[in-house]
Amino acid sequence: MFVTFEGLDGSGKTTQAELLRARLEADGREVVIAREPGGTELGEELRRLVLHGGEMTPWAEALLYAAARAELVAEVVAPALARSADVILDRYLDSSVVYQGIGRGLGLDEVLELNLLAVGGLLPDRTFVLALDPALSGARVGGRPDRIERAAESFHARVAAGYERLAELHPERILVLDATLAREVLTERIHDELIPHGLRRPR
């Protein structure tokens, strides 16, 4: 089973990815978890460049994310799925479609096409978008913002709307959940959604 988490920064997707991992491991399943961009040696170097390097053009940004993703799929995701492990990713190609395609204005179809080429067409079984008001996202980020987090508020508003649009386009794969729900409530909801994909019902 291949599951991805999406949402604005501060939406709690990293926490939910970890909680799902714990649930699946408690069921005795092998789970591989990774974050994007990153998860491989090259991917972590690209992460540093794209998040903490200097300014770059939108297409350069999209290509760096796609390069990190190509490496992660080939090195980590595909081998794990091939041995029937579960894979949980904290962001995947929907992030590029929304942040670069819609946020930066490169085009939803164009960025999707680039990424499908990069990953050999591999799509998740299920994608959870943790939806959060962009104003709350800014407030939850705190600390030292990275290059993407520093983008204008209008950029983050386009990203939030982009996720809604994507979910409408792919209702069979993408589910939008309210990120402000209690952590445990969200975890239960996510677990229940995965039952049709082979998860055991809780006793």
Provide, rounded to whole angstroms, the least separation between the CB of residue 66 and ligand TYD. 8
If the CB atoms of residues 63 and 199 are measured against ligand TYD, the closer one turns out to be: 63
* Contact of 118 with 70, CB cutoff 8 Å: yes
Residue 134 touches ligand TYD, criterion: CB under 6 A? no
Asked whether position 65 contacts ligand TYD by CB under 6 A, the answer is: yes
Q: Of the candidates 104, 127, 136, 142, which has an alpha carbon nearest to the alpha carbon of residue 173?
A: 127
- Among positions 110, 146, 188, 193, the unique one binding ligand TYD when judged by CB under 6 A: 146
Q: Which is nearer to ligand TYD, 51 or 112 (CB)?
A: 51
Reduced to 3 states (helix: H, G, I; strand: E, B; else coil), residue 90 is strand
149 binds ligand TYD (CB under 6 A): yes
Please identify, among the stretches 29-37, 74-82, 116-124, 161-169, the one whose residues bind ligand TYD according to the rule CB under 6 A.
29-37
d(CA 124, CA 92): 9
* Nearest CB to ligand TYD, comparing residues 65 and 126: 65
The terminus-to-terminus CA distance of the chain in angstroms comes to 21
Q: Could you give the CA distance from residue 3 to residue 157 in angstroms, rounded to a whole number?
A: 25
Q: How far is the CB of 20 from ligand TYD (least distance, A)?
A: 16
Q: How many CB atoms lie within 10 A of CB 171?
A: 9
What is the DSSP code (8-state) at residue 144?
Answer: S
Task: Give contact residues for ligand TYD (rule: CB under 6 A).
Answer: 9, 35-37, 51, 65, 91, 95-96, 99-100, 146, 148-149
